[in-house]
Every structure is written in C-alpha cells, then in structure tokens.
Amino acid sequence: MSATNPVGWFEIPVLDMDRACAFYVAVLGVEFDMMEMGPSLMAMFKYDQAAPGCAGALVKDPDYQPSTTGTLVYFVVDDVNQPLAKVVTAGGSLVMEKMPIGEHGFIGSFIDTEGNKVAVHSMQ
C-alpha cells in the first residue's frame, strides 16, 4: 500500500434509508446521490474525486447491521460543536461532547438514528 491516506471508502449500515438520510442532512448538512447495487440501496455522500479524503455511503442491505462497537467513522467538520448541537433534535443521542485531543484538534461522538456510533473531528 502506497497511499498517504489509505482509507478510500466507508459504508454506514442503515435500517431506514429515509430516516438515516434525514438525520445526516440535519446534523452534517450533506447531500446524497442514491444508487442501487443488487440488494443494496446506497446513499452516497457527495464527494469530489480530485479532493483529498475518503468517500462513503449509507447502505441498506440485508447483510449489514448498525453497530456501536465496530469501526468508528469520523466526519471532518469546521467546528465539532455545530453538528453535536443538532444530534438530539435530529433523533440521535450524544455519546461524547467536544473533547480536545491536543495538537490534533477536537472530537465528539454520537449514535445516529440507526444505532451506529459515529464521530466528528475538527481543528477548532
């Protein structure tokens, strides 16, 4: 592996695609492109292939189950407090409020409407 940022794709399992999309739009202000692949329905986070970073999707699939104990995805945001302030109103629950991580910025985490633990990261 030669990539500086080796992760290129992530998938977040969902049970109710409409509910999950509404949650992420409310909390992160994102947009989605919808796609079906076999038994999977995917809501791909809009991304720029030329920009650095990783792309991903919300995925409804019979073999995928939401979890609070699996891989933890961190979304990069301008200020961790902004999305965390919207989590409860959007139907999720707060796990960890804004916490400093030294010179690496700040993090916070929450449970989405589907039961996934997800996190946010910012430098302020």
pLDDT tens string for the chain (124 positions)?
556 778 889 999 999 999 999 999 999 999 999 999 999 999 999 998 888 888 999 999 999 999 999 999 999 999 999 999 999 999 999 999 999 999 999 999 999 999 999 999 999 9
Residue type, 115: G
Instruction: List alpha helices for 1-124, DSSP H.
Output: 17-28, 81-84
Residue 11 near residue 20 (C-beta atoms within 8 A) = no
Domain boundaries, the chain: 9-122
**pTM exceeds cut of 0.75:** yes
CATH number for 9-122 (one of 3.20.20.70, 3.40.50.300, 3.10.450.350, 3.10.180.10): it is 3.10.180.10
